[in-house]
Amino acid sequence: MRVILGPSSKELGQKIAALVKVEETLVTFKTFSDGESYIRLEDPVKNEDVVIVETTSPPQDKKLINLVLIADAAKRGGARKVIAVVPYLAYSRQDRVFLNGETVSINVIARMLMASGIDKLITVNVHSQEALTSFPFPAESLSAIPLLAEYFIKNGFEKPFALAPDKGAKYIVEEAKKVLGGECGYLEKQRDRYTGQVNVNEGSFNVKGEVVIVFDDIISTGGTIMGAAKNLKNQGAKKVYVACVHPLLIGDAKRRILESGVEEIIGTDSVPSCVSKVSLAPLISGKLKELDSG
Ligand code: R5P
């Protein structure tokens, strides 16, 4: 097995290769003056199982193209099996038709990945499991929630309240609760499908005087988290922290979240950022070791 270091997840790829104890392959990567990507694998991969580590956070279209170019180069180079580790899987939020005339974007992405020669996909906390059921090849999602929850335990938090900002993240806080040992609950969120405007309604739980950690899979504009933080402050929460797997943090989302009364944002290196304090390397390398020995 060999780990190919995708240009957007080089550090994570290096950590994974070190933990699995396999060789790394660098990718020569450049963008031509017209915007097109060029990639070249720096080592031969003939008859090897290769693992491409490449996230697809914004600019997701560019990164998806890089991923499929790398996969194709690996297959052309004679790789036996191509496993794509894509910590943040772009387009997984459009996993169904919400409004007439839309497409199911994730299905299109799945077909594109297959056409490039990818044999298996490993992602992390995919926005919806349903998104993966339509994949024409094996695709699975690992959960980074225990790792995120452990970060708080290591930092001395005692039985904090774990809150999901919407019902979709309920499974996330139930998982976090197992590590944190406190209570958990969720808010009700409505998003206007035309404007993207988020409304968060009160849940039926008591957080007065509590330290609360809001867990979510993705922070994009920060609207969801800010709505949750406002709600928690109104309910008398003592302190509000945020944990998320994929800190996209578009624009000035980080500043606005902190200004809404959040103490700290903890993210993973699924999307490298200034809040990526938890690495996915142990989680992903564990899975790869399992595959390698099977
Ligand atoms: C949506 O259901 C997701 O779980 C996140 O809550 C959402 O993508 C976050 O987006 P934003 O930060 O723009 O509110």
Name the closest-CA residue to atom 5, ligand 1. Answer: 218
Report the run of H or E that residue 231 belongs to, with start and end. helix 223-234
- 115 CA from centroid of ligand 1 (Å): 30
pLDDT digits 0-9 by tens, 66-110? 999 999 999 999 999 999 999 999 999 999 999 999 999 999 999
Domains and CATH numbers, the chain: 2-143+279-293 (3.40.50.2020), 145-269 (3.40.50.2020)
Cβ atoms within 10 A of the Cβ of 251, count? 11
Choose, from 75, 177, 189, 254, the residue flagged as catalytic. Answer: 189
Both tokens of 175, joined, read 């998982």
Q: What is the pLDDT of residue 203?
A: 67
**Pocket (CB within 6 angstroms of ligand 1):** 165-166, 168-169, 198, 216-224
pLDDT at 52 over 90: yes
Region 118-135: mean pLDDT is 93
Question: What separation in Å is there between the alpha carbon of 234 and the centre of ligand 1?
Answer: 21
Q: What strands lie across the sheet with 276-278, from one edge to the other?
A: 184-186, 161-164, 211-219, 239-247, 262-268, 276-278
Q: Is 15 in the active site?
A: no
The torsion region of residue 77 among left (phi > 0), alpha (psi -120 to 50) and beta comes to alpha
Q: How many Å from the N-terminal Cα to the C-terminal Cα in the chain?
A: 13
